[in-house]
Chain A
Amino acid sequence: MKKAAYSFPEEVLEHVFSFIVSDKDRSSISLVCKSWYEIERWCRRKVFVGNCYAVSPPILIKRFPELRSVTLKGKPHFADFNLVPEGWGGFACPWIRAMAGAYPWLEEIRLKRMVVSDESLEIIAKSFRNFKVLVLSSCEGFTTEGLAAIAANCRNLRELDLRESEVEDLSGRWLSDFPDSYTSLESLNISCLGNEVNLLALERLVSRCPNLKTLRLNRAVPLDRLPNLLRGAPQLAELGTGAYTSEMRPDVFSNLAEAFAGCKQLKTLSGFWDVLPSYLPAVNPICSQLISLNLSYATVQSPDLIKLVSLCEKLQKLWVLDYIEDDGLEVLAASCKDLRELRVFPSDPFGLEPNVALTEQGLVSVSEGCPKLQSVLYFCRQMSNAALNTIARNRPNLTRFRLCIIEPRSPDYLTLQPLDDGFGAIVEHCKDLRRLSLSGLLTDRVFEYIGTYGKKLEMLSVAFAGDSDLGLHHVLSGCDNLRKLEIRDCPFGDKALLANAAKLETMRSLWMSSCSVSFGACKVLGQKMPRLNVEVMDESGPPDSRPESSPVEKLYVYRTVAGPRLDMPGFVWTMDDDSALRIS
Chain B
Amino acid sequence: MSAEKGYVGLGEVGEMEESIGLNLKATELRLGLPGSESPVKSTSLGAKRGFSDAIDGKWVLSGNGKAGSDLALGKDASLFSPPSDNTNNDPLPLPQPSKPIPAPAAKAQVVGWPPIRSFRKNSMATQPPQKNEADAEPKPGCLYVKVSMDGAPYLRKMDLNNYASYRDLSSALEKMFSCFTLGQCGSHGVSSRDNSSESKLRDLLHSSEYVLTYEDKDGDWMLVGDVPWEMFTDSCKRLRIMKSSEAIGLAPRAMEKCRSRN
Contact = CB atoms under 8 A, between A and B. Distances in A.
B10 A498 contact: yes
Contact of B8 (A166, A192, A464, A501): A501
Given A195-B137, A468-B19, A494 B10 contact: yes
Nearest to A550: B44
Contacts of B115: 80-81, 404, 437, 461, 463
29 contacts: A78-B112, A81-B116, A82-B118, A82-B158, A85-B154, A87-B154, A166-B119, A243-B129, A243-B138, A274-B129, A296-B120, A297-B124, A408-B110, A468-B21, A488-B112, A499-B13, A501-B6, A502-B3, A502-B6, A502-B8, A503-B6, A514-B41, A515-B27, A539-B154, A540-B182, A545-B191, A546-B45, A549-B44, A571-B154
Interface string A459-501: 0010110011110010000000000000011110111101111
Interface in A149-173: 164, 166, 169
A521 B9 CA distance: 9
B113 to A, nearest CB: 7
Interface in A498-525: 498-503, 514-516, 521, 524-525
Interface of A: 78, 80-83, 85-87, 138, 164, 166, 169, 192, 194-196, 219-220, 243, 245, 247, 273-274, 296-297, 299, 345-347, 349-352, 379, 404, 406, 408, 437, 461, 463-464, 467-470, 473, 488-491, 493-496, 498-503, 514-516, 521, 524-525, 528-529, 539-542, 545-547, 549-551, 569-571, 573
Nearest to B5: A502
B154 A499 contact: no
Interface band, chain B? 35 or more
Contacts of B7: 498-502
Contacts of B137: 195-196, 220
Contacts of A490: 27
B112 A83 contact: yes
B13 A547 contact: no
Contact of B162 (A78, A350, A571): A350
B187 interface: yes
Contact of B16 (A87, A194, A499, A528): A499
A491 B27 CA distance: 7
B153 A347 contact: no
Nearest to B156: A85
A194 B141 CA distance: 8
B185 interface: yes
Contacts of A542: 185, 187-189, 191
A6 to B, nearest CB: 35
A551 B43 contact: yes
Given A495-B10, A499-B8, A542-B191, A468 B114 contact: no
Given A473-B16, A546-B44, A194 B139 contact: yes
Nearest to B41: A514
Contact of B146 (A83, A86, A192): A86
Nearest to B104: A352
Interface of B: 3-11, 13, 15-17, 19-22, 24, 26-27, 29, 41, 43-45, 103, 106-107, 109-120, 123-124, 128-129, 131, 137-140, 146, 153-158, 162, 179-180, 182-191, 193
B13 A82 contact: no
Given A494-B10, A503-B6, A545-B191, A80 B107 contact: no
B154 A86 contact: yes
6 interchain residue pairs of minimum CB distance: A502-B6, A81-B112, A541-B185, A274-B128, A491-B22, A540-B179
Contacts of A491: 21-22, 24, 26-27
A524 B110 contact: no
Contacts of B117: 80-81, 138, 164
Contacts of A549: 44
A573 B193 CA distance: 19
A467 B123 contact: no
Nearest to B161: A350
